[in-house]
């Protein structure tokens, strides 16, 4: 049996994401610097046939966020899985530069591990598990 391997993927921030962020920042966030939950999609790799050469061209996996990423009802496109992430808003470049990114990463990692452990405990006990937003 082959061992499980990590497949590298690219990230894609669609232009609609930046428009949605601008609107969300002006209309909702204003000067708030709270962390927010955002949604994106993970698409597996596939291959397509080049019309001219007939060669197979590999398209890698990607993680993308778009204009709907701030919506709580976001659904992943066909052949994709919905992913949830954390968006941290900064109001100035100085705040961004001064942020302890290692600590933020560790905090989000701890939250993910806690959620995974909680979900695992529910699976073991047979009790329903609901994702908290």
Query: How many domains is the chain built from?
Result: 2
| Shared domain check, 119 and 60 | no
Q: What is the pLDDT of residues 42-74, one digit of tens each?
A: 988 888 888 899 898 888 889 999 998 988 766
Is residue 1 domain-shared with residue 12, that is, in the same domain? yes
Q: Is the pTM of this model over 0.95?
A: no
37-75 residues labelled b (16+ CB within 10 A) or e (exposed): ebbbbebeeeeeeeeeeeeeeeeeebbbbbbbbbeeebe
Place of tokens 């080049």: 50
- Is the domain of 71 the same as that of 103? no
pLDDT band, residue 129 (cuts 50/70/90): low
Residue 40 and residue 55 share a domain: yes
44 with 75, same domain: the answer is yes
Are 59 and 94 members of one domain?
no
Residue 126 DSSP class: T
pLDDT of residue 48: 86
Q: pLDDT exceeding 70 applies to what percent of the chain?
A: 86
Let me know whether 22 and 52 are in one domain. Answer: yes
In terms of residue numbers, what domain contains 34?
1-88
Q: Residue 36's closest CA among 75, 81, 80, 90?
A: 90
Q: Residue 6: inside a domain, yes or no?
A: yes
- Note whether residue 131 is domain-resident: no
């Amino acid at each position: 049996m082959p061992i499980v391997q990590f497949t590298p993927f690219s990230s894609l921030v669609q232009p609609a994401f930046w428009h949605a962020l601008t609107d969300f920042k002006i209309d909702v966030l204003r000067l708030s610097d709270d962390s927010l939950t955002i949604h994106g999609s993970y698409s597996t790799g596939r291959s397509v046939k080049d019309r001219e050469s007939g060669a197979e061209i590999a398209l890698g996996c990607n993680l993308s966020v778009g204009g709907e990423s701030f919506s709580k009802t976001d659904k992943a496109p066909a052949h994709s899985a919905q992913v949830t992430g954390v968006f941290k808003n900064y109001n100035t470049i100085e705040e961004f530069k001064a942020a302890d990114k290692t600590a933020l990463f560790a905090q989000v990692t701890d939250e993910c591990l806690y959620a995974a452990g909680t979900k695992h405990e529910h699976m073991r006990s047979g009790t329903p598990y609901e994702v908290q937003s």
